[in-house]
Amino acid sequence: MIPSTFYPDWREKAIFSSVGPQPQVLAENEKLKVIVGSLDVGQRIPLHPEALAVYHFLEGTGWMTVDDERYPITSGATVITAEGAKRGVEAETRLVFLAVRIA
């Protein structure tokens, strides 16, 4: 069971690091994982297969690749990825997103 939780400002969870992404877990159980992901300029998350997921981009610009499709990302964009689809993200500017993985 995931308890109800209030995060007044997602910016407090965005961590930018020179060593790469440092996702901050907001909630997790065997069926669901919610994170805030942050990428600095030029950083990327390589293509990898994953469970069904929803990505909502909070800040910045970049690219998200899902299988053979490449989508331009700006604040407010949402991408839903199918179970098993390969996905990756590249940041042109500082990029922050909320990701929900559903098992």
Does a structural domain hold residue 48? yes
Domain boundaries, position 63 = 32-102
Report the alpha-carbon distance of residue 46 to residue 59 in Å, rounded: 20
**Token digits for 97?**
């997103």
Name the nearest CA neighbour of 101 among 42, 38, 41, 23: 23
pLDDT at position 103 is 86
Read off the CATH number of the domain in which 72 is found.
2.60.120.10
96 within a domain of the structure (yes/no): yes
Q: Quick check: helix, strand or coil at residue 100? A: strand
Structural domain count, the chain: 1
User: pLDDT tens digit string along 7-55?
Assistant: 999 999 999 999 999 999 999 999 999 999 999 999 999 999 999 999 9
Evaluate whether residue 25 is within a structural domain: no
In a domain, 44, yes or no: yes
The SS3 assignment for 13 reads helix
72 in any annotated domain: yes
Tens-place pLDDT, residues 65-95: 999 999 999 999 999 999 999 999 999 999 9
Whether 6 is covered by a domain: the verdict is no
pTM over 0.85? The answer is yes
Residue 88 lies in a domain: yes
